Structure 1
C-alpha cells in the first residue's frame, strides 16, 4: 500500500468511528439526539419524541433542575434531557427497563415511566457527579456513594427501596452526616 492510500484509509476509519459508536452504543446517542429519527429539540436543553408534551417536559425539567441544584449545587453546563413518550424512543437510546439514565455529562434520557420529578432529579445528580468528579469516577467510585447520593438527595419517596439500593442510600446518609462543614464534592472525590 502506498502512503496516500494508507492516509485515506486511516482518515476514513477516523471519520467512521463516531458513526459506529452511535450505531452500536445506543446511550451515546444522547449526545446528538436530534440526529435520531423522530426526535426533535424544540428547546436548547429539551428534546422529545412528542412536541405535544413539550410543556409537561419543561415543567418537569425545571422541577428536576431545582431539586438537584438545591441538593448538590449549580450545574456548570445546562444539562440536555431527552424526554421519551414511547417505548420505541426509549429503545432508541438503549434504556431497556430503566426509567431514566444519565450518560455521564453528555445528557439524560427519560423513559415514559420516568416522567416523575424524583427520577429526573436522581439522574441530574448523576450528571452533576460526572461534572464534579469526572465520568471515570462515576463509573468506578463505590455504588453506595454514587447511587446512594442520587437516591438520598433526589427526593425519591420510595421507602424502603429494594436491596441493595436502600442500603446504599443509608450508607451515603451516614457518611454525609459525618462530614460536618466539609464540602460534599471535596469529600466525595476522596472516597475510594
Structure 2
C-alpha cells in the first residue's frame, strides 16, 4: 500500500513538470520559470523590460477594447509580451502573432504587438471565463474565432478563409440574438 501511495505522489509531482516541459503553451501559467522572462506585475510579463511601457499601453488598450465588447473580466488576465522569437518559441507560438491558453493567460509574439491582437486574445480569455475552457475548445470555430475577430476591431478586411467566413457567421448570429445576453446565447450554440 505504501508503494502505491509513493507512486501516486511521484505521478502528482512528475505530471505537472512534464506538462510544463513538453506542452509549451502551458508555461504561461508560470511564465517567470521561462529563462529570460520577468513578470513585472501579476498581469504583465516580458522578455524585455525596456519595452514595458509599450506592453503596458497595449495591455490597457486591448483590455479596454475587449471589456467594452464582451463585458468585464472576472480575473486579472496575464499576458506575456515577447519581443524576440526565442521568447515566443519558448511558449510554442510557432507562426502565431498571439495566443490565449484558456483562462491561464496569453502570449504575444513580436508581430502581435497591436491593440487588435491583444484584444482578440483577451476576448478568448473572456470566453474561457464565461463558457469554460472545455467549451471554448469544443464550441464551433465560427463562434469562438468569429467573435474574437469581429469584436476585437480587427481592421483586416477581408481576412483569409475560413476566418472571414467565421467572422461573417458570428456577426449574423450576434445580430440575430437581439437583446439576449450574448454569453447565455453562446452557451446554447451547438
Task: Tell me the equivalent position of 2:110.
Answer: 112
Aligned counterpart, 1:102: 100
How many Å apart are 1:16 and its aligned residue?
A: 1.0
Q: State the SS of the aligned residue for 1:43.
A: coil
Tell me how far apart the structure 1 counterparts of residues 25 and 31 of structure 2 sit (CA, whole Å).
Answer: 10
Cα offset for 1:43?
1.5
Q: CA deviation at 1:9?
A: 2.5
Q: What residue number does 1:53 align with?
A: 51
1:93 aligns with: 91
1:37 offset after TM fit, Å?
0.7
Name the counterpart of 1:65.
63
Aligned to 1:156: 154
1:186 match:
184
What number of residue pairs does the alignment pair up?
Answer: 190
The answer for the alignment partner of 1:75 in structure 2 is: 73
What is the match of residue 133 of structure 1? Answer: 131
Pairing 1:5–2:3 present: yes
Deviations 1:48-100 (A, max 9, x none): 00000001000000000000000000000010000000000000000000000
Q: How does 1:34-49 map to 2 (within 5 A)?
A: 34-49=32-47
Q: Take 1:154 and 1:132, find their aligned partners in 2: how far apart are those partners?
A: 17
Distance 1:6 1:163 in 2: 51
> C-alpha distance in 2, partners of 1:110/1:185?
26
Partner secondary structure for residue 40 of structure 2: strand
- Displacement of 1:131: 0.2
Moved over 4 A (4+): none
Stretches of structure 1 lacking an aligned partner (at least 5 in a row):
none
Instruction: Describe the superposition over 1:22-54 as per-residue Cα deviations: whole angstroms up to 9, x where unpaired.
Output: 001000000000111111001220000000000
TM-score (norm 2): 0.98
CA RMSD across the alignment: 0.7
Q: Secondary structure at the match of 1:62?
A: helix
TM-score normalised by structure 1 residue count: 0.97
How far is 1:6 from its partner? Answer: 3.0
Q: Distance in 1 between matches of 2:5 and 2:65?
A: 51
